[in-house]
Chains A and B, each alone.
Chain A
Amino acid sequence: MSLVWLRSRLFRSYLRAFILLWLIAKIAMVAGAVLYRTPPFAFHPFGEAVACAVELWLIGLFVRRSHEDILLGNLGWSLGTALAPLPAVHLALSLVVSLLG
């Protein structure tokens, strides 16, 4: 993964959308935890993995629907390669929230 990609405005737009999706998923997870009377901000690896997979799937869907996967493809990047940094972002945000909570 090149610095050119990580610094690009296109990647930053994917990052913004991903963080928004993470926030929505986190609110849903907290609501579920409150409902079942479990610690709301606890880090559940399986739940986080599922949430991350759904977030990535949705971002991938947006990218394909706007045909930006062809732009990435012409640059020699698969969708998986382009979105590879995002799971680390999910993990970092969720860990920070669980530590603060």
Chain B
Amino acid sequence: MTAVLAGDSIDCSLGGRQILRAAYVDAIPGKITALVGRSGAGKTTLFNVLVGRCHSNGGQVRWQGERVARPSLPILARRGLFYHPDRPWLALHLTLAEHGALLGSGRDWRGAAETLSATNWMDRRVGSLSGGELRLTELALGLALAPTVALLDEPFRGLEPLHREQVATALRVLAERGAAVLYADHDVEAVRRTADRLFSIEAGVTRLVEGFRDRPLREWYHEWPR
């Protein structure tokens, strides 16, 4: 199946240090793809390159096989990308309902909020929510956008088990609706439970790991353990 979004041979240096080395990652419709690596391995930088928030020194971003000359989040979002960074990105003084109104009348944000049990705090300011509630609110908006590709940077980070399960539900719902889900994480057991495909990343080098559920962790990486 053709990848909707792909980053191919991505090189990226930040502050004189090479972060990504010919990195490759892609997202396939209906599948949950995980990008796994330790902190500092280059996961966030690779995602930033994909959405144009970081300029690469080489390589290309492709959307449905075609090179995107100047990737940017607004341009890719209009094609169907939803991007969830590794930090809160909603307006803290607005409620979920007010964010939902931003989507326009054609988007079922209430239905998305119900799917993730986020209706209880629909009229509370986002800034007053707990970390888990905030994450689910962000993902409810992502669901409501009905994306073709969902790119999520560490969506499980810092969550309690119940909220982790609800985030996993959000990823599965996105994939069941045909979205290509690509998320970054470093929780190996969560990845084994959630992901259909896996790329590992170590020192900016990526690798597609076939049969990752049955393989020991050390085989996921080029240089693991150090």
Interface residues of A (CB under 8 A from B): 2, 4-5, 8-10, 13, 66-78, 81
Contacts and interface: CB of A to CB of B under 8 A. Distances in A.
B93 A13 contact: yes
A8 B73 CA distance: 21
A41 to B, nearest CB: 33
Contacts of A10: 91, 94, 98, 102
A68 B145 CA distance: 17
Nearest to A80: B74
Contacts of A4: 101-102, 104
B90 interface: yes
B82 A74 contact: yes
Given A73-B83, A75-B103, A68 B78 contact: no
30 contacts: A4-B101, A4-B104, A5-B102, A8-B101, A9-B94, A9-B98, A9-B101, A66-B91, A66-B92, A67-B87, A68-B89, A68-B90, A69-B73, A70-B83, A70-B85, A71-B102, A72-B74, A73-B72, A73-B74, A73-B77, A74-B73, A74-B77, A74-B82, A74-B83, A74-B142, A75-B77, A75-B102, A76-B78, A77-B74, A81-B74
A70 B82 CA distance: 10
B129 to A, nearest CB: 15
Contacts of B103: 75
B88 interface: yes
A76 B51 CA distance: 12
Main secondary structure of the interface of A (DSSP, over half): helix
Contacts of B85: 67, 70
Contacts of A70: 73, 83, 85, 89
A76 to B, nearest CB: 4
Interface string B69-111: 0001110011000110101111111100011011110000000
B90 A71 contact: yes
Contacts of A81: 74
A8 B74 contact: no
A73 B73 contact: yes
A77 B83 CA distance: 13
A85 B74 CA distance: 18
